[in-house]
Amino acid sequence: MADVCFSLCQATRVSEWLRRRGWNAREIQGDMPQKQRTDTVAAFKAGTMPLLIATDVAARGLDIPGVESVINYRRGPGPQHSLGCVRIF
């Protein structure tokens, strides 16, 4: 359960951090209402919101054509626990 909470909190923090710096970004996560998740993914697909931050659970099953890159990032309790991976399509 701590792992799930960590992912949810991190998605929100990253999304808020990007928005404070002027980026149009939103997050999706499992505890959001389905309508809000659907609307967020629709905005991303339409190109009106270019950055989608998703928890690993919420990202499962997303198939969105035209995505240029995926950044898989996870910040652990210390530098030795962090994961960073970028896939360019």
Task: Please write the tens of the pLDDT for every residue from 8-28.
Answer: 778 888 889 889 999 999 888
CATH code reported for the domain at 2-88 = 3.40.50.300
Identify the CA nearest to 1 among candidates 36, 30, 26: 30
Supply the pLDDT for residue 67: 80
User: Which residues, at least 6 apart from 24, have a Cβ–Cβ distance to it below 8 Å?
Assistant: 48, 49, 50, 51
CA 18/CA 12 separation, integer angstroms? 10
Domain ranges of the chain: 2-88
pTM for the whole structure: 0.71
pLDDT tens readout for residues 25-79: 988 888 889 999 899 989 988 989 888 888 877 777 788 888 877 777 666 655 5
